Structure formats: structure tokens, C-alpha cells
Amino acid sequence: MNKFLWLLPLCFILYACPFESTVALERKPAETVDSALFGYWYGIVKDGSDFFGIEALDIAQQSDSVYSITRYGKAIKGDIILPDTAYFTGFTSYIGEQRYMNIVADILIEEPRRNSKLKDMRKQRVYYIAKIDRHNDTLVVKTITETFSKKKLFNSPEDFKEAISNLSDNEKELYDDQYSLSYRKIPKPQPYKSF
């Protein structure tokens, strides 16, 4: 259990514990970046209790087909404030007419050594997939929930795409509506200048 505690802030980054895949929806980035996604996007997360979070995404171009994504966040529960910032890259894929963002993250996995109390750290690349829809100054993001499939390991992008495609008509099982988020595009706040 302790080996995954550091993932809690990451789970919030993507609004719930999203499905973690070892393959993306494409073998490599192919779609050209969409400049309409560039900018600073601001949103507020509420879960119905006394918890809420303030979140912003700063999306920029990293290459012709890869986005640089900085996620700024503050989770607030009662009188506890947990600020965090995370850095990702991402690239888009389509299933039919629907656009998805493949969010790339490298996570550290703690593994016990055989016959020892010592542990080894291993880096693993994972992909989080989010449905994205942009309309004017609004960006709607819905991550694929960890319970969307009984199959937890996909061997190829084609298998992963097919599993999502088979559920695309049943959004309730594919996305977690409680943790979907709408962002508004705003000018990026500038650092405070002292006198």
C-alpha cells in the first residue's frame, strides 16, 4: 500500500484515479498539435463534500505533434490546503470523430527485494487517456475511469482503442462524470511584483 501513497496527488491531477495504461492509443504521436488548445485553462473541482480544488492547465507546443502540459493545482479540504504542480507531455488521438489526449507520465514503482527489507525503485512510463472537447473558451476534459474495463493490461494501441470504442456509446461506464472538469481559457496570471 505504501508504494502507491505518492500517487494520491497524481490521482487528483486527473480528477479521479484514472485508468493507467502501459500503451497509448497510438504507437507514437502522429496528429499535428492544435494551437486552439494552447494557453492557460482554469477550472474548479468539487466533490459534494467540503472538498474542492482549484486547478489550471498551461498547454503549450513541445514539438509538431506533442504538447507540454503543466498542471497547477490546490486541493482544499476544510482548513487544509495542498498545493501541487505536475509536468506532463501529451499527444492527441482520434477514435472516430472523438479526440482524446494521451497524457504521458513516468511513475516510480517501489518493489521489495527478495529476502531483504530493502526496496528497489523502478521507473515506468504510463498513459492516462482523457476525452477532450473544446468549444470557444471552454475545454471539457473527461478521463477514462479505472473501472471501465475488466481487462487491466492492453498489449497494443489497437486493443486499447477497441475497448474504448466498444464503450463509447455508454459514457457512464467509460468516464467518471463526477470528476469531469470544464476549464475556461483565461490570460495567464503574472507573478506578483513587489514595490
Would you state the cell numbers that stand for residue 93, as one nine-digit string? 488521438
108 versus 34: the higher-pLDDT residue is 34
* Cα 122 from Cα 71, distance rounded (Å): 24
The predicted model scores a pTM of 0.80
Counting Cα atoms < 13 Å in the Cβ hemisphere of 143 gives: 21
For the chain, percent of residues with pLDDT exceeding 70: 82
19 touches 129 (CB < 8 A) = yes
| Domain layout of the chain by residue ranges | 2-37+92-180
pLDDT-derived band at 50 (thresholds 50, 70, 90) equals low
Q: Is the pLDDT of residue 5 over 60?
A: no
> Could you tell me how far CA 72 lies from the centroid of its own chain?
12
